[in-house]
A = this chain, B = another copy of it.
Amino acid sequence: MNNTKNTDLELISENKMFGGLQRVYSHVSTVCNGSMRFAIYLPPAALEGKKVPVLTYLSGLTCTEDNVTVKAGAQRISSELGMIFVAPDTSPRGQDIDGEDDSYDFGSAAGFYLDATQEPWGKSYNMYSYITQELQDVITSNFDSADMKRQGITGHSMGGHGALTIHLKNPTLFKSCSAFAPICAPMNCPWGEKAFTGYLGSNKDSWKEYDATELIKTSPSKATLFIDQGLSDNFLKEQLKPELLEIVCEQVGQALKLRFQEGYDHSYFFMASFIEDHIRHHFDAL
């Protein structure tokens, strides 16, 4: 990726919350070929100039940076502990690609946190490089209080897949990892098969780069993977498949804390119920 390090930000909104500032920015992204948005919560400690750890949250299908910002209540505990909470958008936008907005599980709001190799997607659908490189530069250049050596990554559903794969491929960049109802084995579920075919093509060897269950086989992480999964989640059996991840973790000795939560579904009501545990997990690990 040709990253020209354009890190100028435009402030879209700012709201005081729990003593800190919830902001949304847009900026020109080179790797995503256009304007991208992200939300960032700066806790009081960061506003006072202290260096604080950074937790990046990757959202699921259909979401923008807004959903978790409004629904999860992450700011309360981020404020208490002193953590910056970053929530990027889920895909490039407005690329004028045929079919870009036709389905909820491909194209807009469905970037799947990979770098597309198939045209016309390859020019802009590069969320992997966006999260691991370009957004890193943007945060580093604009937020002195962000301690970029203490970063964790989490996410929900498609974003849980993103968090797991990005951590496994970048364990020194994102030292801690957790996920809410993640797509654990995208090579073996309809959402993943559709996305990988469209973005990466039909050669399944290339898919393994973005499949947590495959990545753990070859490069397990020293960190404990912390996952919450609701047992009343409609997508559990067909799309999420934590049991496949669990088997591989056992085989290779990957530390895994997988909690099945009775009665919880796939919604933000589930996510909000356990976000405190996740933020504390990252804070303690960093």
Contact = CB atoms under 8 A, between A and B. Distances in A.
A104 interface: no
Interface in A75-97: 75-76
For this chain, the copies found in one complex come to: 2
Contact of A269 (B17, B267, B272, B273): B17
B73 A70 contact: no
A15 B230 CA distance: 11
Interface string A236-276: 00000000000000000000000000011101111011000
A267 B15 CA distance: 8
A273 B22 CA distance: 12
Q: How large is the interface on A (under 10, 10 to 19, 20 to 34, 35 or more residues)?
A: 20 to 34
A232 interface: yes
A18 interface: yes
B73 A15 contact: no
Contact of A263 (B16, B75, B264, B267): B16
Contacts of A18: 272-273
A272 B79 CA distance: 13
B273 A17 contact: yes
B232 A272 contact: no
Contacts of A232: 16
A143 to B, nearest CB: 19
A22 B73 CA distance: 16
A93 to B, nearest CB: 23
A71 B232 CA distance: 22
A15 B76 contact: no
Interface string A43-76: 0000000000000000000000000001101011
A15 B265 contact: yes
A158 to B, nearest CB: 20
A75 B274 CA distance: 12
Given A263-B16, A265-B15, A265-B16, A73 B270 contact: no
5 contacts: A16-B263, A70-B71, A73-B272, A75-B269, A76-B273
Chain A to chain B: the 7 pairs with minimum beta-carbon distance, closest first: A15-B269, A17-B269, A73-B73, A16-B263, A16-B264, A18-B273, A17-B273
